[in-house]
Amino acid sequence: MEELFYNKLKEILSEDQIKLDEPMELHTSLHIGGKADYFVMPGSIDEIREIIKLCRQYKLPYYVIGNGSNLLVADGGFRGLIIKLGESFSAVKVKENGLITAQAGVLLSKLASIAAEHGLTGLEFASGIPGSLGGAVTMNAGAYDGEMKQCLLRARLLDEEGNILEYDTEQLQLGYRKSILQTLPYIVLEADIQLAPGDKEQIRQKMNTLNRLRREKQPLDKFSAGSTFKRPEGYYAGKLIADAGLKGYQVGDAAVSEKHCGFIINKEHATARDFLTVMEDVARIVYEKFGVRLEPEVKMLGDFSRDE
């Protein structure tokens, strides 16, 4: 089956678009993760269609990633195929009246910078978010009182049958770090973002201020997946973790950041099991002390039971 599948895959993609047994630690901001059986970098929507069709034909699981900034991959890797939407899906078109159409693979930081160059305001909050647009739409990414819901008009999606669908913000059901896309097998291809005219200098100043705050308060010099937990209603995850006495709590090379307790970091050689153990211990202790349940914001991929 493996040889047959690989030969079929080579009919869709060139060999330099395909990697076998690819270490996922190379493709996540945590620098953690075992090998994926297949790792592909399609260059067109038609190629994505054919890849999905092939995976379904061979009943092989697949998963789509962008910048891997919010992803914890199991030490045993992923028994399936990873589709990475990167440079080939990063086109940005600035249109009239503050409308921007951008592909899913573009980095949010780059998109915010392009908006600033054109004197468009409303995306400053995203200038320091390390993810790609596709992931940002899927989880309604946000920071500093801004979120994608405030500027997203619609997204174009690819379903498993190869159809392109268009969902507006109401259909996407955007909430705090969530959307309907987290429960549907759709791939974000591109999105329309509506911004407003603004003063270039003021936009840049705001972006610089937010990025300075990030540098001061967040462990940007360490490997992390951003905020590990969602913000519980009425609380701040980082404060709860600090108040529970867990600042610096460490298992292996995974630790609660001493700079910002809302971040669990990979000090250097943490395993996925180390990281997950810290997450589980932190959530349990916070619940025992304060009765508040911490819900992971980090997405987990692979079979973690094999990491025991």
Band (180; pLDDT cuts 50, 70, 90):
very high
Shared fold status for 90-215 and 219-307: no
Tokens 């407003």, located at residue: 196
Give yes or no for residue 79 having a pLDDT over 90: yes
| pLDDT recorded at residue 2 | 82
Phi-psi region of 242 (alpha: psi -120 to 50; beta: other; left: phi over 0): alpha
pLDDT in tens, 53-70: 999 999 999 999 999 999
| C-alpha of 220 from chain center | 16
At 243, is the secondary structure helix, strand, or coil? Answer: helix
**Domain spans in the chain, listed from the N-terminal domain onward:** 2-87, 90-215, 219-307
* pLDDT interval class at 72 (50, 70, 90): very high
Residues that are catalytic = 177, 227, 297
Q: Which CATH number fits domain 90-215: 3.30.420.40, 3.40.50.720, 3.30.465.10, 1.10.357.10?
A: 3.30.465.10
Q: What is the pLDDT of residues 229-278, one digit of tens each?
A: 999 999 999 999 999 999 999 999 999 999 999 999 999 999 999 999 99
Please provide the average confidence, as pLDDT, over all residues in the chain. Answer: 95
At 307 the pLDDT is: 62
The CATH class of the 2-87 domain is alpha beta
In CATH, the number for domain 219-307 is 3.90.78.10
Across 38-64, b (16+ Cβ under 10 Å) vs e yields bbbbbeebebbbbbbebbeeeebebbb
On whether the CB atoms of residues 263 and 282 are closer than 8 A, the answer is no
Average pLDDT for 77-84: 97
Average pLDDT of span 2-18? 94
